[in-house]
Each structure stands twice: as C-alpha cells, then as structure tokens.
Structure 1
C-alpha cells in the first residue's frame, strides 16, 4: 500500500534516470496525495515519454467516475485478474518516479506514526505503475494512474505490510515494453525491493494533511517507542527536527480491498 509519496529530485535528475526525450519542468513535491497529478514515464512509438496523470485509476469502462471508488493502489499478486486493472497490466504499464514514500505504523495503543521511507543512498526510485484513459460522452479525456504494491520486505514490514513495487533501472525496458514482454515476465518484476535499498525514519504528523507540502516534512523527528531500523522499539530514534523554515499550504473504500489511504 502507498498513500503518499514525494518527488524532490530536479527535472534534470529525473530525465537522466528515465531517459525520455521530453524536457518538462516541475517543482519538487514533498507530500503527493491521491487525486493530485503524478509524474509517470511510459513507452510510446518506441520512445519513452513523460506524462502527468491523476493519481487514482479510472478504467475506461466506467460510466461515472464521480461514483467510482478511488483506486490508488493495485495488488501485484491479483491485478492481472481484477476487472479494474487487468487491461492496464497488459497494455498500459508505466514507471512512477519517487524520492521515497510515507507509511503509517499502527501501534497497539496510541496514534499512528508516519514514517518517511527513502533510499539509503539517496536518489530516485521507480515505482511500477498502471495508467488508463477515460473519455466522457462529450469528448473530454482524463488519464489516471495507480501504483502496484507487493508484500513489504524486512526493512519496511515493521512499519506496514505492503510497499510499492520498485522496478530496477535494468528492468525499465522490459516493464514498459507491453508489446514484447509477456505478461508472465512482467509480473515476475513485481517483487519486494532488496532489504538494503530503503531506510525508515519517523517524521512529523504534519504529513497527515494533504495541504502540507514542504521540505521539512522529510525531517526525522524524535519519537518515543518508535521502531528502530531492525523493527524493534526504541525510546527515541533520529535527531530532533530542524527548525521549521516555512509552511507550504497548498476513508474511502474500494472494491477488492485495493484502497487504504493510511
């Protein structure tokens, strides 16, 4: 499951990793939430393209998107069999650039604690994604997307039991090439990331609000009884947050248990 993520890399850094010819300009975003635009990379006519889509997939056969459940995630294990995702798994796969993602740990008692889960060595990762195009009767079009999730690895599982499927750079071509990569081979790429890839850091509950979008959301905080990096509890972890420099202002259930915002 993934309900929030961030992309703080520069447009040049993203373009260098994903190798598309476009030169889009976009700002850093620290708290990307469902229904907001998300960056995706797809293959079309033999080349990679950068495309913004709305986060929350709407299949083409839906008559009224307003009455359709918001599908932000698709379980990798079952997506190919689900009516909402099976066409996209076969024909409309994409990559979703990210600097990391948030998850909320549910303790036995007390409030949920958000964690920022990022590559240990920094940089960008590519989530496995799906996209769809929906057309209304008046001719309007909207492109939407979802993130594929897998069982969490040993690093992430103490925080949450699901995580985004991460596609390694050497597998970008295979994942994106829906014409030449058989479905069985594409599905084999959907597996938990190596345990050494990510680290988990407790962060401020400011991230709970989708209105918040500032670099300080990524700052680790001191939390009593937080999870340490081995999944055990510790009295405090990580340094106290830096002084806040600025504030940027900017539930729902789905079929097949594909949606869980927190």
Structure 2
C-alpha cells in the first residue's frame, strides 16, 4: 500500500516535469504527506486536453457516496481490481491523474508503536509520478464540491518486497500522456517499477506521527 509519501519539489519544478500549463497553486512542501491532506495532483482538462496541477484531497470519495468518510478507506486502489471496483471504475475510465512524488514510506515490524519506517526513492533522487485517479463529489448537506484522489498500488518489486508485498504504481515519463488520455487502454501500465532504479533506507520513527512534517524525515539513520 501507500499511506505516506514525500512531495517536496517546488511547484515550478513539478510543473516543468509534468508539463502543466495552469497558474501554479500554492503548494507547500510535504515530507510526510498523509491521507486527508490537500496535495498537488496533475490532471488533464476534459475539454482542452491541457494539463493542470491542482490541490486535491487524498482519499477518493466516489460521486455516489453519501458522505466523505469513505475517503479514509480509499486512499489506495488495487491494480488488480481498479477497473471493476464500484468505488474506482468510473474514475479509472475517465478521470486518471498523476501524483508527483519524491519518495514514499513503508514500514517493517509488527508491533504497534515499534514499526520502523523506511524511505523509498529513485537512486538518483529524481521526481517521479504515481498513477492515480481523481473524483468530483458534491456534499449533499452543503452542496459544496470536493475533489479527491487515490493512488493505485501493485505487487512489490524486488527492492521493496522485503518491506511490503505491495507498492505504488510508478509511471515512466514517456507514459504520462497515455495514462492521462481517457480513451487509452492503460492496464499494461499497472505494473511494478524496475527495482534496479530504486533504493530504500531507514528513517526516523518520527514519520509515524502524521502531524509531524519536516525535512529531517528523510534523513538516514
């Protein structure tokens, strides 16, 4: 799964990497991004096909949901069932997105309070993009619109398998356009990223606290 990640690159760098054209949102650096937070996401405009970077809330709320609480259960979508699961199938067909990331976290250990976090990133520390989905949801009580997203996961590659059995789907840059095009058959893209391009290292247990968020999170122990 993917329950925490890092999005520390400046908005201008993310805009260049993902070729977005809209005015830059006020994006804060996140070293411990957590569900329920507003995070920068790249989407394709359905009419102009231009790419935009916008702030969406992590935890997808399907358009048919009665309330937003379901978002806590939908921070991830499994690659094996994303095309058929009721919460995700509509977004998978029409509303795919890319979530820029600099790293993400996984844990080893079994006891609550004693799990050891590990940071996982590209060996050259380059910015990359998770395969995601986004959704519009109208709150029936307030009639206000909420835009949310989820990150798709697949089986772990050899680098991550000793930490967790699953990992986020990471897209190669030359597949970004294909992934975002609503009419593309993208099922072949839902695969583990090459293990030899990635590495992991132990980091401070401070990552375990979702309220903590600073650059020291990535320091190696």
Question: What does residue 65 of structure 1 align with?
Answer: 68
Unmatched 5+ stretches in structure 1? 222-262
Partner of 2:97 in structure 1?
94
* Other-structure match for 1:41: 42
- CA distance in structure 1 between the aligned counterparts of 2:103 and 2:134, rounded to whole angstroms: 20
Aligned partners of 1:39, 1:68: CA distance in 2, in Å?
17
**Structure 2 gaps, min length 5:** none
Does residue 119 of structure 1 match 2:122?
A: yes
- CA deviations over 1:191-223 (Å, ceiling 9, x no partner): 0000122111000100000111110010010xx
Per-residue deviation, residues 148-187 of structure 1 (Å, max 9, x unmatched): 00000000111111110001110001000003x1xxx311
Q: CA deviation at 1:18?
A: 0.1
| 1:23 shift after superposition | 3.5
Match of 2:213 in 1: 213
TM-score (norm 1): 0.79
CA distance in 1, matches of 2:133, 2:172: 16
SS of 2:211's partner is coil
TM-score scaled by length of structure 2: 0.93
Higher Rg of the two aligned structures: 1
Change (3 A) 1:16 1:67: closer
Q: Which residue of structure 1 aligns with residue 159 of structure 2?
A: 155
Q: Which residue of 2 aligns with 1:133?
A: 136
Cα contact 2:117–2:207 (8 A) shared by 1: yes
Matched residue of 1:79: which SS? Answer: coil
Counterpart CA distance in 1 for 2:70 and 2:129 is: 30
What is the number of equivalent residue pairs in this alignment? 217
What is the Cα-based RMSD across aligned positions, in Å?
A: 1.7
Q: CA separation of 1:67/1:46 partners in 2, compared to 1, >3 Å: closer, same or farther?
A: closer
Q: Is the 8 A contact 1:6 1:99 kept in 2?
A: yes
Report the counterpart of residue 11 of structure 2 in structure 1.
Answer: 11
- 1:75 — aligned with what? 78
The answer for the alignment partner of 2:179 in structure 1 is 175
For each residue in 1:28-71, what CA deviation from the matched residue of structure 2 results, as whole angstroms up to 9, or x when unmatched?
A: 21000000011110111211011111000110001122366531
The answer to whether the 8 A contact 2:59-2:71 is kept is no
